[in-house]
Amino acid sequence: MKVGKPEKLIVNGKRLDGRAFDELRPIKIKAGVLKRADGSCYLEWGKNKIIAACYGPREVHPRHLARPDRAILRCVYKMAPFSVKERKKPGPDRRSVELSKVITEALENVVFLNLFPRSAIDVYIEVLQAEGGTRCASLTAASVALADAGVPMKDLVAACAAGKVDGEIVLDLFELEDNYGEADLPVGIVPRTGEITLLQMDGNLTREEFEKALDLAIKGALQVYELQKAALKEKYGGENGGEQ
């Protein structure tokens, strides 16, 4: 359910939450927060609060889904009933099926699935609180949970959206901008290879606007990437780590 439409989304050159056009919301990432999962991540991105838990590689159930040459990756995105303003009915809906699919596909070619034939790697994503941009936040958390589980990957996948709001190209849309802006462009990247593994667009952009928004989203995702690496270093040691 959408909250009321504000008259303007940009006032005196600032966004309604006070951010500059190219500014991310505050982001906190913590790796390894759940004792019973093989890997996990808790992420706060603005008012979004998300937990991701990774299990595997493990036996596939149901068995007929097993592939002889590689593991299968299954990411499941869920929104808690209390995560949004208007209570969300529990259980899968079209949106959560779509988000689970795009998040799985954004990670599928990054995980070395060929190393684990006949097994499954499962990532469960629980959105505890939502404020727009949960697919990028969930993908970011899922990739930290996979890394925390020790699943071999080409790199982390980092994600961020850009979009168009009151005619301006802006980074990282929050809920009101997401619901009432002109366009939203979530992007997921593999920084090490330069691949883009998530690219969706809601709304309309001209070619120039699209290029500007894509460029901005990639810059945002690179900042997110640094925070993902810092969260893993904090848990496992490294330049700034080893203190836990």
Binding site for ligand UDP (CB under 6 A): 1, 84-85, 88, 95, 130-135, 175, 178
Q: In the structure encoding, which two tokens stand for residue 210, read together?
A: 């699209």
Q: How many CB atoms lie within 10 A of CB 109?
A: 16
CB of 8 to ligand UDP, least distance (A): 20
76 closest CA partner among 120, 110, 109, 111: 120
Quick one: which of 103, 174, 172 has its CA closest to 143?
103
Minimum distance of ligand UDP from residue 57's CB (angstroms): 28
Rounded to the nearest angstrom, the gap between the alpha carbon of residue 232 and the centroid of all alpha carbons in its chain is 16
Nearer to ligand UDP, 34 or 84 (CB): 84
The answer to whether residues 234 and 240 touch, using CB atoms and an 8 Å cutoff, is yes
- Rounded to the nearest whole angstrom, what is the least distance from the CB of residue 232 to ligand UDP in the complex? 24
Q: How far is the CB of 84 from ligand UDP (least distance, A)?
A: 3
Q: Kindly tell me which of 64 and 94 has the beta carbon lying closer to ligand UDP.
A: 94
Q: Which is nearer to ligand UDP, 25 or 88 (CB)?
A: 88
Q: How far apart are CA 116 and CA 71, in angstroms?
A: 5
Which residue reads 């941009």 in tokens?
Answer: 133
β-pairing, 39-45 vs 27-31, is antiparallel
Report the residue number, 113 or 130, with the smaller CB distance to ligand UDP: 130
CB of 94 to ligand UDP, least distance (A): 10
Q: Which is nearer to ligand UDP, 64 or 89 (CB)?
A: 89
